[in-house]
Structure 1
Amino acid sequence: MKTARLKEWTYEEFMSLPEGGPFRTEIIDGELCMTPSPNTRHQEISLILSLAIGNWLGKSPSGKLFIAPYDVVFSKDPLQVAEPDLIFVSKEHLSIITEKNIQGSPDLLVEILSPSTESSDRRVKHSLYERFGVLEYWIVDPESQTLQVFRLVDGRYPAPLEYGKSDLLESPLFPGLSLALSEVFPS
């Protein structure tokens, strides 16, 4: 991930950046982070997860699901903006959704690892999401075909629950949804 800390960014400056460019743009701890668009496998996994959760939400409307590109603004001073792959906001927190982005901490954030983002997703974003109280954070690793679930306990993420290709993933955020990881990581 390329970063640039030329200055402290303001929310207004961030919002003035051009939309739809070839890079995903985030500002974390004052650094402008730009990464290229994800690869095909990443996008396939994102689609599978969003369809599974989206279909469940169609039957059990308990919140809203968003997919990248969509900004999550955790703080405006100092500016902290991330662009997770999937974002879930429960009914109880819908007030954080604005016309342009999410302003606050969603209930679930999902990052699907790419070679250019793995270090940031595992360290920088893990720390950011924990600091701002994201209830669940999933790290999906296409290479090892694993999914790690970090659930906030007393303001911290303890060791993750780790799921493999033969496991079923269940989350208290989606009661009754059993996600077969064999479908997330098809051969």
Structure 2
Amino acid sequence: MAATQTSITAEQFAEMLSATDGAQYELIRGELVKMTPASPRHGEVCIALGALLHVFVKSRGLGRVAVNDPGVITERDPDTVRGPDVAFWSPERLSELPNKFTHVPPDLAVEVVSPRDTHREVLEKVLHFLDHGVRLVWVVDPEERIATVYRSRHEVRILGETEELRGEDVVPGFSCRVGELFE
């Protein structure tokens, strides 16, 4: 990811996105960062997990699920807008999904690792989410066929294909076998 030299606000970023070339961007401390296009496999894993979560959450009235990098403003002056691959908000945090960026961090953020992602980039994003109010972060790695669960900077678990990925107290009752995401 390469950053430009221009410092912009979240509002300028939102307006700029409507006029882009279709590329994905994030705003990191006022700097526009172009994201590497995701692979089809990445998209397949995102939709698999997003669909499982959506059906589970909707059928139980537990909140809202969004995919495809929903923008969350996590910092101001300079502004940062990050987007997880999949996000869940409880109704206590966010009753309706807005048509613009939200200031409300999701309860659960999911990152699906792409072939071009570095470990450092993924970890920086995970820690950023945790530091800005996300209660649970899952990192799903299709290449290694594992999921890493972060409750905090110090509470981390790695799950293999046969283990259950659980929503714990964040998405109560949700679980799926890690390997199911790669089928």
Same fold (TM over 0.5): yes
Query: Equivalents in 1 of 2:49, 2:102: separation in Å?
Result: 20
Unaligned 5+ segments in structure 1 are none
- State the 1:168 CA deviation: 1.1
Partner of 1:166: 162
Partner of 1:178: 175
Please list, as runs of the form range in 1=range in 2, the aligned pairs for 1:99-114 lying within 5 A after superposition: 99-114=99-114
Partner of 2:39: 39
Count of residue pairs brought into register by the alignment: 181
Query: Equivalents in 2 of 1:106, 1:116: separation in Å?
Result: 25
SS at match of 1:12: helix
Query: Equivalents in 1 of 2:52, 2:72: separation in Å?
Result: 22
CA RMSD of aligned residues (A): 1.9
Q: Deviations over 1:109-128 (max 9, x none)?
A: 11111133334542321231
- State the AA in 2 paired with 1:164: G
Question: Could you tell me whether the CA contact under 8 Å between 1:35 and 1:117 is conserved in 2?
Answer: no
Q: Output the TM-score relative to the length of structure 2.
A: 0.89
- State the AA in 2 paired with 1:148: T
- State the AA in 2 paired with 1:16: E
Query: Equivalents in 2 of 1:73, 1:108: separation in Å?
Result: 15
* Identical pairs, percent: 28
Unaligned 5+ segments in structure 2 are none
Q: Output the TM-score relative to the length of structure 1.
A: 0.87
Q: Which one is further off, 87-96 or 76-85?
A: 87-96
Q: Deviations over 1:40-72 (max 9, x none)?
A: 110110111011111111221111000114211
Query: Equivalents in 2 of 1:121, 1:52: separation in Å?
Result: 26
- State the AA in 2 paired with 1:52: L
SS at match of 1:16: helix
Query: Equivalents in 2 of 1:58, 1:67: separation in Å?
Result: 14
Question: Could you tell me whether the CA contact under 8 Å between 1:72 and 1:102 is conserved in 2?
Answer: yes
Question: Is residue 73 of structure 2 the alignment partner of residue 77 of structure 1?
Answer: no
Partner of 1:21: 21
Question: Could you tell me whether the CA contact under 8 Å between 1:74 and 1:103 is conserved in 2?
Answer: yes
Query: Equivalents in 2 of 1:86, 1:121: separation in Å?
Result: 17
